[in-house]
A and B are shown apart, each in its own frame.
Chain A
Amino acid sequence: MITMEHVCKSYRVAKRNAGMREACKALFRRETEVIQALSDVSFTIQDGEMVGYIGPNGAGKSSTIKILSGILTPESGSCLVDGRIPWKNRTEHVRQIGVVFGQRSQLWWDVPVIDSFELLKDIYAIPSYEYQNNMEELTELLHLQELLKMPTRQLSLGQRMRCEIAASLLHSPKILFLDEPTIGLDAVSKLAVREFVMRLNQEHKTTVILTTHDMQDIEALTKRIILIGRGRVLMDGTLEDMRRLAAEHGQAAEASDQNGESLERIVAGLYQKLDIL
């Protein structure tokens, strides 16, 4: 179970105007601005749930994931993941979670994928039989057979993402964080990723927390949506709840439409109406 209660996090960001002169000035006196990434975020996620975490760019999605995975320490508030405080018992905590950052790779760039997997086996100290089982299953479901012998840098984005997902599941984590896993993927790869995540959640009861800008991901995968904007939780409910919220804000006409395209429009409308862009 994951609980976050009244979590706040802010960053100090250096600011300066454009130009050489300003750059030189900033060398001596830097003007900084405090940006509130999260203010009073609370929610609870049960074991085996699949939750879509959405919001515009800069809303605080990644910060939340980084706090939950123990990379960042919040200023205030409490956070428990299966009874652990993520940033306190780091090594113990990260052993139980898997994290995929769609924008970054966790594989070793210049060696074949299988070499990265073997190294991960040692890093997580995965027992051989467990590694074998997971490898077999992941290779089959994500169609990795041909990819394993190729160096990561020569994979296409879609191929790489499948390997990334496999890499973060080798140690059978109980919780999987997916930060924009379908970003930049073609239709076939997107479908493959969605199908796989669905199956993972159903068969292994893995808790999945998914951030994405692709509303079709949300529609296909998650029953529950947490909408965040300007560091606050604005809605926590089902897709229906979100449609209702949109309707309240004067988007009734589109709300009845069921396909993903219009869902995109609903969300865009919500972001504007709620003034969180």
Chain B
Amino acid sequence: MDVNAYIESGILELYVAGQLSEQENQEIYELTQKHPEILQEVLAIETALSKLSEEVAPSTVGFDSIKRQIDDTSKVIELKPKTTNWISYTGWAASVILAIGLFWALNTKNTLQENIQTVTSEKEQLEILIEVARNDLANTKDLLNSIRAKDILAIPLGGQGDFTDTFAKVYWNKADNTIYLDAQGLPNAPEGKVWQVWSLTLNPLTPTSLGTIDDFNTDDNKIFAIANDNESQAFGITLEPKGGSEAPTMEQLYTLGVVNATP
């Protein structure tokens, strides 16, 4: 390209004055990079116009006032993120407090629910105890009524042989053929042994088994209702091997009591 003709065209003066399109500006910028003469020309035009305009300026303003203004604006800019941070910290703090609060509330709720469950099960246990006590009371009343009945025979059974410190009592209701054995004076049956109750006739001496007391050790009041339709003249209690025996083992006869004549 003819660089001189390009320079002479006057386009560079328009370039410095800012009169050209973006595309033209781009082209001239590239030419200034390629052709130093063009760049030199641009600089000369720029310097001339710049010097001319300086003469029009009414005064000179130092950079200090500019510096103050951009310091002020940069301070304002710096303050913004600080404010944002403060808000964001507050936000984080609030969410942490909220999280702790929620956790605490949930924990308290769980504890309270556990308490309610505990109280509920305690209540159920108490209800069961009350029921048991009522049943006991009813049973005891029945027992007392049975023993107090008019035609009851009371037969004390005394300790025999080596077992003189043991005792028992039999309450015999002939009307309904039931004896009530109060065996509180007997020890618990040892492992593998069981108490067996006998009805006896004396002449000749004939024992009849009334059965074994299998639940002796676990029974609370040690009073046992036993069916008896024999014409018993005496009652005895022996300790027998588990399952009971056909005939009483006389060495293990703990208590014995004779039925007195009708009172």
| A and B interact | no
Interface residues of A (CB under 8 A from B): none
